[in-house]
Structure 1
Amino acid sequence: MLSTLGVAVTALLTALFCHFALGFSVLESFLTGAVISSTDAASVFSILRSKKLGLRNHTASLLEVESGSNDPASYMLTVIALSLMGVGGGGAIPWMIFAQVVFGLGLGAAVAGLSILVLRRLTLSDGLDTIFVVAAALLSFALPAVVGGNGYLGAYLAGILIGNAKIPHKAALVHFFDGLTGLAQILIFFLLGLLSFPRQLPAVFLPALAIMVFLTFVARPAAVFLLLAPFRCGVRQCLLVSWAGLRGAASIVFAIMAVASGAAIGYDLFHIVFCIALLSVAVQGSLLPLAARKLDMVDSAESVSRTFNDYQDQRQLHLTRFPIGAGHPWVGRTIGECELPADALVVMLRRGSENVIPNGDTAIQAGDLMVLSTPLYEDDDGVSLREVPVAEHGDWIGRPIKELGIPAEVLIVLVRRADGTTVVPKGGTVLQQGDMLVVNEWEET
């Protein structure tokens, strides 16, 4: 709702303000409202992530879905405005709206469906799946654009469908596209630097400030409260969503498109939109963490990294094998009597050739192989591992680990033998020729 009707309401109210308060013509006012009607996901989540602000009531996910999906609607309004101004002809606007939506959705879904089928059915070698998905992204934009559809809508829908499908190597794909997104942002801001002239900003500062204030305190809140009220969203949530409607790179790109289209625009649209984006990020962005706290919308239990854009590998549990020897103190006790960590779960007991699915009353026997599930560790604290070849330390070969004289703050996590087997080390583990030690961060002197 916010990404479609919200964009339309924001554009309409802004157009009325530009026409009656700033004296722009009707079509120029509509063009201005269309260009700046979308919000910028990158700006919002850069702020939320840097401050580690989790928001209540799934507000973070709401903001990211809205910010990511309202660009196609803003683009369509911009194309309609340019068509009314004589760029491309204005007589086919009903057909244009139909084609933009139907072809964009239909072809985007078709490309996504075919891509998912190929990724699931064919075994692509490492790297080829990334190339294939890049090609699918380009195709999902190009096909709708060729037949008059909304390429942005098609690409966005294809990304949604592929991103939520169970496909191989998804984590690697997402990390690649995260890097590609960063590169695209660098190129966009480099382009903005080439096109902008700082000396022209003072001339457009007052109208840009007026539009930004109206957007922030009138147009955006009106759209948010109007469309979220039926869903019984609280006043504080609506206020925060209203304040988080930052304008960013997408609006500036649409302004560049409008200026480059050759439409007769009687004012400096590019620098007005550029100035609005700067003011929005500087004022709204700086005060967003404070607004979230003042509105009591910060939830420490929520993680802003677990949102629509930030994919985490679906296998977040790590399985660990734990052999129970004859002298182990757990022999003869039930699982419920064992002092396991709170986040560990016994998922299976391997007893000879039999697999036992345990419960709290299952008794442990000598010789059992216990399989534990524990949360997968995520390296958020800068802990790093490195490999140390035993061959580089010839005097270590044939000696137990406890005699090596390794610094006390260094832990050998794993010993990888030359034959590929791994050993969880103890003080008495004897190192062999060809061993590779995996240790926590250690700078040798």
Structure 2
Amino acid sequence: MESLLLFFAVLFLCCIFLSKISDKFGVPSLFIFLGIGMLAGSDGVLGVHFSDHEVAQNIGMIALIFILYASGLDTDFSAIKPVFGRGIILATLGVVLTALAIIPIAMILLDFSFLEAFLLGAIISSTDAAAVFAILKAKKISLKNNLSPLIELESGSNDPMAIFLTLTIIQMFSLGGSGSVYDWAQTLFMQFGVGILFGYVFGVGLPGIFNRLRLEISGLYPVFSIAWVLLLYTTCYKIGGNGYLAVYIAGIFINKKEFVHKKNLIGFHDGIAWAMQIVIFLILGLLVFPSELPQVALSAFVIGVWLMLVARPVGVFISLLFSKFSVNEKLFVSWVGLRGVVPIVLATYVYGADIAHANLIFNIIFVMVLLSIFIQGMSIGFAADKFRVKEALIDEPAQPVSSPLFKTTLHQATLFFGSKLIGKTIVQLDLPPEFLILLIQREKEYIKPTGSFVFAQNDILLIQCDDDTLYKEVVKKIIG
């Protein structure tokens, strides 16, 4: 056990230190994580033998839950709202069209049956938000015309559709290709309907629970959140919904509300998501046998180029047909469809089904993901320049010395017996951003309040609010 812990500790540290390459040169971190896993695997330097696809699949399932949950928590609903409809169409119809566009090239090049070719397309159809935005951030690229929220929404929400397609096609293999369009539609409605409903209910519910729970030990809030997301996923799955969609939707609605320890909780889940990405890419790197990849390299390269230049643009252009995005913007969205952890995890599912070309599909998917991360990931900056989608940076004029940076309209309020505010926390008040409680005096102690601060009788509040009318309305509403 000690040797195993040492092995993973060293690999984790190597991944983290080498991720600096991503920050400096724009090489995607996921590419580095995969490379380290491959070097440690059976054909690599360390020669660690690992070939248990079921274990990899189970680890991948758990990893995807927390990756999608963190992705939802990082999503600003107000930012994605203007492109919500287009993003959802791109994340659903776009995935289906991309998968369908892979079928002819896979049937011709690999001599696959229609179902096998469709399965390959379904597995590779989703994109990876983390890879895209890590590169955009590293290169300090800001996109115009709501492109960033569109890509963010699509990348975060298209995984459930790819998972649904993949598992449905695998089920058709086990049923000998039977199944009607009606059955597909019914399953799709059930999965997505239940997934959205559960995600909304659990997402709206958690902030309210946190604001009323008032745990003495702050470290228990992340533990509660972990249990909450696992409860959501498993309950939704048991009923027949799409658990992955549910956890992503829940994350978005949790982020909409203010609640105690929100900032710390989001940071915690960001760390968990990165840990999960490192774990799953190391596991998948160990799982693959690099000596087998040259046999499929040419086929994977051709299909990968077809995906980048034909299949993905077909899905994007048709999905955004009636949108206001320009041709250049649609071309950029097409190009930033990086593939990441989800396709490789889904590729492990083929081993548990009665599919003759399971190993071939896994290796082709693996090479296609590597190509996508490397070719598209390294060229995002060039594509942003080529398609002229960068947001122009405007230098703000310096503030004149005579213009004050801060206004000083301060007010004082005392919480007397019977005040409605006594016993409540700041996050329960849903205060407007212009109304700031700066300081609390409680007896002889001065307290800088946080979201979890609980008001008590005789507290004296120092409040900044420049609008006297707003100040009076808020004080009347919350203090009484």
TM-score, length-normalised on structure 2? 0.63
Alpha carbons 1:259, 1:269 under 8 Å: kept? no
Aligned partner of 1:281 in structure 2 is 373
By how many angstroms is 1:224 displaced? Answer: 1.1
For residue 3 of structure 1, give the secondary structure of its aligned residue in structure 2.
helix
Aligned partner of 2:273 in structure 1 is 181
Q: Deviations over 1:200-225 (max 9, x none)?
A: 11011111111111111111111111
User: Unaligned 5+ residue runs, structure 2?
Assistant: 1-88, 395-399, 415-433, 435-443, 448-480
For residue 294 of structure 2, give the secondary structure of its aligned residue in structure 1.
helix
Alpha carbons 1:83, 1:90 under 8 Å: kept? no
Separation of aligned partners in 1, 2:195 and 2:357: 28
By how many angstroms is 1:276 displaced? Answer: 0.2
Residue 22 (1) aligns with residue 22 (2) = no
For residue 299 of structure 1, give the secondary structure of its aligned residue in structure 2.
coil
Aligned partner of 1:339 in structure 2 is 402
Aligned partner of 1:111 in structure 2 is 202
Aligned partner of 2:452 in structure 1 is none
The aligned amino acid for 2:103 is A
Structure (1/2) with the larger helix percentage: 2
59 and 170 in structure 1: CA distance in 2 versus 1, 3 angstrom threshold: same
Separation of aligned partners in 2, 1:26 and 1:212: 18
Aligned residue among 222, 242, 262 for 1:150: 242
266 and 191 in structure 1: CA distance in 2 versus 1, 3 angstrom threshold: closer
Give 1:226-375 correspondences, 5 Å limit.
226-265=318-357, 268-301=360-393, 339-341=402-404, 344-348=405-409
Alpha carbons 2:191, 2:241 under 8 Å: kept? yes
Alpha carbons 1:111, 1:139 under 8 Å: kept? no
Aligned residue among 97, 105, 119 for 2:188: 97
Alpha carbons 2:101, 2:311 under 8 Å: kept? yes
Which structure has the larger Rg? 1
By how many angstroms is 1:164 displaced? Answer: 1.8
Separation of aligned partners in 2, 1:338 and 1:47: 38
By how many angstroms is 1:99 displaced? Answer: 2.5
User: Larger relative contact order (C-alpha < 8 A, sep ≥ 6)?
Assistant: 2
Aligned residue among 149, 166, 173 for 1:85: 173
Separation of aligned partners in 2, 1:108 and 1:71: 15
- Pick which of 264-273 and 58-67 moved more: 264-273
Aligned residue among 112, 128, 148 for 1:60: 148
Separation of aligned partners in 1, 2:403 and 2:265: 36
By how many angstroms is 1:21 displaced? Answer: 4.3
Aligned residue among 317, 333, 349 for 1:225: 317
Aligned partner of 2:160 in structure 1 is 72
338 and 243 in structure 1: CA distance in 2 versus 1, 3 angstrom threshold: closer
The aligned amino acid for 1:81 is I
Q: Deviations over 1:254-289 (max 9, x none)?
A: 111222345443651111001001011111111111
Aligned residue among 122, 125, 139 for 2:213: 122
For residue 389 of structure 2, give the secondary structure of its aligned residue in structure 1.
coil
For residue 247 of structure 1, give the secondary structure of its aligned residue in structure 2.
coil
For residue 257 of structure 2, give the secondary structure of its aligned residue in structure 1.
coil
Alpha carbons 1:53, 1:300 under 8 Å: kept? no
Percent identity of paired positions between Structure 1 and Structure 2: 40
156 and 87 in structure 1: CA distance in 2 versus 1, 3 angstrom threshold: farther
Aligned residue among 307, 319, 327 for 1:215: 307
Residue 49 (1) aligns with residue 108 (2) = no
Separation of aligned partners in 1, 2:189 and 2:144: 37
The aligned amino acid for 1:56 is K
Separation of aligned partners in 1, 2:411 and 2:166: 64
Separation of aligned partners in 2, 1:338 and 1:274: 59
The aligned amino acid for 2:261 is H
By how many angstroms is 1:90 displaced? Answer: 5.0
Give 1:122-141 correspondences, 5 Å limit.
122-125=213-216, 126-141=218-233
Separation of aligned partners in 2, 1:26 and 1:88: 13
The aligned amino acid for 1:35 is I
- Pick which of 136-145 and 90-99 moved more: 90-99
For residue 409 of structure 2, give the secondary structure of its aligned residue in structure 1.
strand
For residue 53 of structure 1, give the secondary structure of its aligned residue in structure 2.
coil
Alpha carbons 1:112, 1:136 under 8 Å: kept? no
The aligned amino acid for 2:135 is I
TM-score, length-normalised on structure 1? 0.67
Q: Deviations over 1:81-115 (max 9, x none)?
A: 10111169954544432321222222222222332
Aligned partner of 1:204 in structure 2 is 296
Separation of aligned partners in 2, 1:267 and 1:129: 42
Alignment: residue pair count: 322
By how many angstroms is 1:350 displaced? Answer: 6.3
By how many angstroms is 1:158 displaced? Answer: 1.1
156 and 420 in structure 1: CA distance in 2 versus 1, 3 angstrom threshold: same
Structure (1/2) with the larger strand percentage: 1
- Pick which of 111-120 and 91-100 moved more: 91-100
Alpha carbons 2:208, 2:259 under 8 Å: kept? no
By how many angstroms is 1:77 displaced? Answer: 0.3
Separation of aligned partners in 2, 1:55 and 1:219: 24
Alpha carbons 2:350, 2:358 under 8 Å: kept? no
The aligned amino acid for 1:82 is I
Q: Deviations over 1:389-437 (max 9, x none)?
A: xxxxxxxxxxxxxxxxxxxxxxxxxxxxxx9889xxxxxxxxxxxxxxx
Separation of aligned partners in 2, 1:262 and 1:132: 40
By how many angstroms is 1:156 displaced? Answer: 1.1
Aligned partner of 2:32 in structure 1 is none
